[in-house]
Every structure is written in C-alpha cells, then in structure tokens.
Structure 1
Amino acid sequence: MRVVIFGASGMVGQGVLRACLLDDSISDVLLVVRSPLNLTHPKIREVLHTDFTDFRSIQDELTGLDACFYCLGASAAGRDEAEYTRITFDSTLAAARAAAADNPALTFVYVSGEGTDSTEKGRAMWARVKGRTENALLAMDFHAYMFRPGYIQPRHGAKSRTASYRALYRLTSWAYPVLHRLAPRHTTTTEHLGRAMIAVVGRKGTGPRVLNSEDINRLGSR
C-alpha cells in the first residue's frame, strides 16, 4: 500500500507516520512538506512544496496512491473566518483534489475534531469551517473518512509544534490514564489514531464515515 501524509511534522502526523513505518502492509510513504524533515527510512520519500492551496506543480508525484492521511491543522485563535477558511477548507480540498486526480480508489482520511459542526450553522466559527470541510470531502468521489478525536495524548515522542500545547501535555501527561478512565469516549492517543487510519483504508468506503475517539480507539487497538 502506498500512502501520502500531509502534516507529518505535527503531533498527529508524527503518530500516523510512525504507524505507517511499523505496518508491513505499507510499502511507501510520501511526505508533502514545506520544510525538509530529514528523516531516513527506506519507505519515506519527501516532496517539498510551499503553496498548499495549489498542488499542480507536484501532481506527478501523487500517483499510484492507495490512501491520503491529512493531518494538517491550525488553531482558530487570533484568526478571522476568512483566514481560517483558507487554511482549513481551501488547503484541505486542494490536497484532496490533487491526491484523488489519478487515484480513483483513493481513501482520504481527514483529522477534524470533536465538536465539529456538520450543519455549518453553529456559533463556533472553527466548528462551522471544519463541518463545511468534512461535508465537502464526504461529497467527493473517493472513500472519505472523518476522524473527530477529542483529547489526544502524544505517544512515542510525538510533539506538538505549538509551544503552549507542548507545555500543556507536559503538565497533564501523568493524568492521562485517569482521564481516559473517566472519559473514554473523548480521549485517544497518537498511536491509536495512526493505527485506526490505516485500518479504515481496508474498509474501502464501507462502515461509518465519521469516527469519534471511541471508534478510533476500537480500530486502533486491533
């Protein structure tokens, strides 16, 4: 199986990449990145690209793919709806169209978030934009799965690129087992996320298309 990962430098992306490298069913992992990650592994190939709203210049690289794992995301804090839409909706849809162009059987997995608003009418701006993004992906002609994790515990060295999040995880990581026991339906790990993404590729468009933390944990535990 050949996969492409967008957002491999982020916390979720790091977890997904690790799962792909450990899984014998995956032979090739293409990383589309803005800056070199300088990772050395026989499965990995990096493609540098700066404009994440237009992938035409690297379209030839996106062939022979079985799956696309889209792990890019940004906080809505300090951003208006137009800017957040450009980052969240426009970039995601551009990547989806590029990945699907020459791969008719593609599975596209999008990491959204708990609280995403499928109606696109709620008060929370980020939730509306995420909902609009999900709806557009689900309407496209490929196997689309939306992942809506709640709290994500980093595992195996995965780190957030946001300093405040890194500090939060350092302060709260000891409490994750307790948190997971208290709210198992709202907590997961980068390890479970990565395994679950690989697992849904085998579903080929069947089963639930929107998965919460409980679904992710169940798939990622197999």
Structure 2
Amino acid sequence: MKVAIIGGTGFVGANITQRLVTAGHVPRLLVRPGSESKVPQPESCEIVHGDVGDLSALENCLTGVDAAIYLIGILREFPAQGITFEALQHQGVLDTIVAAQKLGVDRFLLMSANGVHAEGTAYQRTKYQAEQALKASSLRWTIFRPSVIFGDPEGRMEFCSQLKKDIIDSPMPAPLFYAGILPTDAGGFELAPVSVSDVADAFVLALSEPRTESQTYSLCGPERLSWKAILTTIAAAAGKTKLMLPAPVAAIRATAAVLDRFSWFPISRDQIKMLMEGNVCSENDSFARLGLTPTRFGVDQLDYL
C-alpha cells in the first residue's frame, strides 16, 4: 500500500513512517525544503517537496496513493511567523480532505489529541474542528486521540526530554502546580503517557483493518500518573533526584501572559490551562479494541534520557 503522510518528519510521523516500511508499505512524505535529513529510511520512501499550505504540492503528495495520514500538530502558535493552530491543525486538514476526495483517496487517518472539544483552547478547538470536518466528509476515516506521547525523540521534540531540559536539568526546584490559594494536592493532576511505538502501531494496524473505519480511539497509557510522579520518574531515568515545591498556577499564568509571545519562554497560558485539566482517557479500552497492549510508563522505558 502506498500511503501519503502529511507531517511525516516529526516525532510521531517518523515512527509511523518506519512502521509502515517494516510492514511493507511505501510512505510518500510531504517534506518542506531543507527538512530532507529528517526523513527516516529515505531509501524506502517517496518524497514530495512542499508545505501543507501549497495546494499543488499537497495534491502531488496524494496522487496515486491508497491512503492519507494527517499528523501535523503544534503546541504553540506564533502568528507573526505564520505558525497558527488554524492554518496547521484545521485548514491543513480541510485542504487535505478536499485533495483526497478530488483524487479518489478514500482512506484517511487523522491524529487529533485527547481532551479536544469545541469550547477549549485554540489548540483544542482547531483539532476538534478538524475531526468534525473529517467525519462530515465522504472518506473512510479513523481518528486517533493520544494523550501525552513519550519515546526516543531522535533529535525531535518529545514530552519527557522537554521536561528534562526545562525542569529536571534546571537549577530551580521543579514546580508542583496547584490552583487556588492553598497548595492542596500540588502536582496531583493526572496524565496518561502513551508510548510513541504504541501510537505508531495503532495507525499502521488501522490501514489494514476495516473494523477501525468510522471509529475514534483515545490512546492513553495503562496508568494514570500524577504530575509529581511523572517528574519523579523522569528525574530517576536521568539519574537525578529533584527538589519539588508547590507553585501557584495563577502566578505562572500571569508571567506567561506577558512572556508567552516569545518562543524562548517555555510555556504558554493555554498550555498551562490544558496541563491543569489533566490528560487521561474517560474510556480506556481503545488499545483493547485494537487488539494491542499499551506500554507502561517507567524508568526502563526512558533510557533515552
């Protein structure tokens, strides 16, 4: 099977590309000029140069393929640089849907995110709008909603390595965020980290399984872990111990309100909001429905740190 991948040079995309090659498929990647070195196993891939905003390049990428996978997602937007949630997480999906329908590519897999909803942050809203557009199309669709994803980044951005860099390696104490006035349950909000290998397996499986069509899968790891437990595990994997102190989230938000327009500031107001919401699956049977067993989050899985 020949599979077009939009977003194939990123962290998740590289893992899916490698899984596709292993499974005997031929990935065709839309690659921005200058990013050719990010293509995994380039000898086994087809490359179309261009950006998701270039409709002709998008159509070239989708011409003659059997399925399309859309993976582009950003955690922060910088409108002055043309990097926006609307352009990359919504309009890009709309354009890919139109191109797929025009070219007769009727199988479409979309990576959304756990916790998206119509009234959420700009990140959540645009992901949700993309889901709705795909569901309203004539395509045979499958949507995946991963929680925070961990795994060897191989030089790319990844959840645990980013936390190690920004928090564990910092000389400052690790912040245990809490809402309100008193530090009750500081750092107690929960996430369900999911392995990038498991996410990649789910995507590749869906290509050959008709039962996954018209289905949405929330992909969470097998455990709900507190923010404090996750930081403790990352520190242990890095061979460190880390002082952790309660941190009022209101103060962090106030600082971000002034500084999050700068790329060097590590977190935005919306990211803080989503973090405090937690990120666990309300229904945790997706891997069972797929016939897969998710990987536990622990020190042994973080040796890349």
How would you bin the TM-score normalised by the shorter chain? Answer: 0.7 to 0.9
Which residue of 1 is the match for residue 98 of structure 2? 97
Evaluate the alpha carbon distance shift between residue 159 and residue 15 of structure 1 in structure 2; reply closer, same or farther with a 3 A threshold. farther
Output the CA distance in 2 between the equivalents of 1:69 and 1:22: 17
Aligned to 1:142: 139
Residues 124-164 of structure 1, C-alpha deviations (whole Å, 9 max, x = no match): 23212211111001111111111100021124x545347x8
Q: What residue is the counterpart of 2:125 in the other structure?
A: 128
Equivalences, count: 201
**Are 2:59 and 1:64 equivalent residues in the alignment?**
no
Q: Does 1:37 align with 2:40?
A: no
Structure number, greater radius of gyration: 2
- What does the per-residue CA deviation read over 1:58-109, in whole Å, with 9 as the maximum and x for residues that have no partner? 52442222211111111135669x93212211112112222332224x3211
Residue 201 of structure 1: aligned partner: 207
Structure 1 position 187 matched with structure 2 position 187: no
Contact 2:5–2:30 (CA under 8 A) maintained in structure 1: yes
Residue 160, structure 1, aligned to residue 231, structure 2? no
Indicate the residue corresponding to 1:180 in structure 2.
Answer: none
Secondary structure at 1:210's aligned position in 2? strand
**2:59 corresponds to 1:53:** no
Structure of greater relative contact order (alpha carbons < 8 Å, 6+ residues apart): 1
1:221 to partner: Cα distance? 3.0
Distance 1:60 1:99 in 2: 11
Q: Is the 8 A contact 1:29 1:44 kept in 2?
A: yes
Change beyond 3 A, Cα 1:149–1:220 = farther
TM-score, scaled to structure 1: 0.76
- Unaligned regions of 5+ residues in structure 1, if any? 173-182
Which residue in the other structure is 1:177 paired with? none
Please say if 1:221 is aligned against 2:292.
yes
Q: What SS does the corresponding residue of 1:191 show, helix, strand or coil?
A: helix
Residues in 1 aligned to 2:162 and 2:212: alpha-carbon distance in whole angstroms: 39
What is the DSSP-based 3-state SS (H/G/I as helix, E as strand, rest coil) of the residue aligned with 1:101?
Answer: helix
Do 2:49 and 2:57's aligned partners in 1 also have CA atoms closer than 8 Å?
A: no
TM-aligned CA distance change 1:169 to 1:96, over 3 Å: farther
Shift in CA distance, 216/10, structure 1 to aligned 2, threshold 3 Å: farther
Q: Any stretches of 5+ residues in structure 2 without a counterpart?
A: 169-189, 220-283, 294-305
Q: Deviations over 1:103-128 (max 9, x none)?
A: 24x321111111111xx2x2423212
The alignment's C-alpha RMSD in Å is 3.1
Residue 78 of structure 2 contacts residue 84 of structure 2 at CA under 8 Å; is this kept in 1? Answer: no
The letter of the residue matching 1:96 is I
What is the distance in 1 between the residues matched to 2:163 and 2:156?
10
Report Cα offsets for 1:19-56 as digits up to 9, x if no partner: 111113x1x21010113424554431111103x23422
Compute the displacement of 1:13 (Å). 0.6
How far apart, in 2, do the equivalents of 1:197 and 1:15 lie? Answer: 10
